[in-house]
Amino acid sequence: MAEPQHKDEKSFRGIPVSTGVCRGKILVLGRARPTIARRQVADGDLAEEVNRLEKALVQTRHQILDVQRKVSEGMGAQEGGIFEAHLLVLEDRTLLDEVVRVIQQQKVNAEHAFHTVAERYAAMLSVIEDEYLRERASDMRDVTMRVLNNLLGVEEDADLRHLKEPCIIISHDLSPSNTAQLDKRHVLGFATDVGSRTSHTAIMARSLRIPAVVGLKDASAQLVNGQQVLLDGHNGLLIVNPTDQTLFEYGQLILRQATLQQRLRDLLHEPAITLDGHRVLVHANIEQAADAEQVKANGAEGVGLFRTEYLFLNRDRLPGEEQQYQAYRDAAVALKPLMVVIRTLDLGGDKFLAHMQMPTELNPFLGWRAIRISLQERDIFRAQLRAILRASAEGNLRMMYPMISGLDELKQANALLEEYKEELRQEKVPFDEKLEVGAMIETPSAAIVADSLAKRVSFFSIGTNDLIQYSLAVDRMNEKIAHLYEPTHPAIVRLIKVTVEAAHNHKVRVSVCGEMAGDPVLAPLLLGLGVDELSAAPSLVPPLKFLIRRLKLTEARELADFALDCESASDIQARCQEHARQIAPGLFEDK
């Protein structure tokens, strides 16, 4: 909602997804959509409608491949990979066969049939109310619009490639296709009514390094072209008609941010040691071996989470043992002697394979996913474990299993690992006989039986995103209950403490690799609870090290003691914020 600040100044608050501050005139993109009329088609013309559909699909595929190539060249392979999801929509035989069936049985035009079926699919994904699945709905609508435009022979509503002057884009939403067109010379930043931190559009904004804010509710409906605004990507604010005082304050903020960035660069290669001499390892989370450069560039001390499922997604076929071995080996060699923790396949829930028959589930996060898939699909698990073992001979690798919910799963996984080790011994293939194996603590059941698990692993990694979701039964992207998603909920604090105590009783180290680990406000609480290592996105490593080097572990433990005795999540959050701002105020500068 709009927040009045001055008789001429108005601000909208949203979610910051790409840092920075910019000022300029706005360009408001309309929400116009082509009118999709339903036409009855004679029997003799039905084949031509199907032919029109196929031509439009081919044309759309060429367009998406062209966008993908340009994005890969301009931003990188990871950003270009976003469009693999779009290409998969065009290859989804279930969807396309349904469109053809509607054309033939209802005797209607291709536009109407495609729009009807695709929108039904997108609506089904949206209803699940999980942020990743919601993004898939956005992907589907993006592709749908391209196909419909090609069927109708119309151009896209907004051509962002030929802007004449610098502007800030305001829109209800920006599809990845629209974002890919943004020219940094003319697009200073953008803001949208909807979206999340992990949306494809947000990812691309960070790659472009332009300020971006999402989740502004209805800003696009209230604003008009040409208005002067200031976009604050640090705090998630869009300020319309900023006063001279506001502009002065933001000028000071920009200067302070520049000073802070220089201080962060100065300590990139310094260790994260508290003021009272406690060493904390700060690692990075990655998705592919190519991310190794970002790990080193941001001063991380290794990789605490290598998400291997991204080797499997958006491919025509499963990667074999050799392909996986090369990817894991590349990461190990690139970062040697730094540690790399490889997480075995975490499919299901929000990530699916197009070529695997995944069951339709009412709640995929409580269904067939992660270690459950690996233990049943033994051929897939065998190829991955053998690849990891082989790569362990080339660098400092560790391995961990996702979504362990009890001791039986851990025993089964370890038994298979030993079986595949013996295979390699028989084949005289080298691997690290002392490869450390860990378990992710992401469910309340795993935390409660952590003592039993700790006897059989070398380390724990707490995935706080899922631990919070499963413990509090809250989908944070569901606007009706998002306020209940509380990382500082007393139950979460106590589950982390129980896990750490069980681990340390068996001399097992504990890392946190969820979003809590990358939040400077919550990092002191985690360290006070006894967590040994933090792992976050590479770009978050410098501010974490900056904060840790200004922290006393004794004070962090006092903060944890307060949290363990407290009954209020908001009180714990407030105390964490107060403490973090006291020790590292520069990290939390706002207007």
Instruction: Provide the annotated active-site residues.
Output: 200, 513
Q: What separation in angstroms does the CA of 316 have from each of 57, 61, 319, 354, 382?
A: 18, 16, 9, 8, 20
CA distance 446 to 79: 34
Q: According to DSSP H, which parts of 83-199 are helical?
A: 84-90, 93-106, 110-127, 131-152, 176-181
Pick from 216, 198, 215: which is nearest to 206 by CA?
A: 198
- Please give the helix or strand (H or E) that residue 65 lies within, else none: helix 46-74
- Please give the helix or strand (H or E) that residue 547 lies within, else none: helix 541-548
Q: Could you tell me if 504 and 474 are in contact, meaning their C-beta atoms sit under 8 angstroms apart?
A: no
**What own/partner pairs with CB < 8 Å and gap ≥ 24 does 580-586 have?**
580/520, 580/521, 580/523, 580/524, 580/547, 583/524, 583/547, 583/550, 583/551, 583/555, 584/520, 584/546, 584/547, 584/550, 584/551, 586/256, 586/259, 586/260, 586/263, 586/546
Q: What separation in angstroms does the CA of 305 have from each of 95, 291, 302, 370?
A: 35, 12, 9, 15
Pick from 420, 435, 204, 415: which is nearest to 328 by CA?
A: 435
* CA gyration radius, the chain: 25
Phi-psi region of 209 (alpha: psi -120 to 50; beta: other; left: phi over 0): left
Looking at residue 25, what DSSP letter applies? E
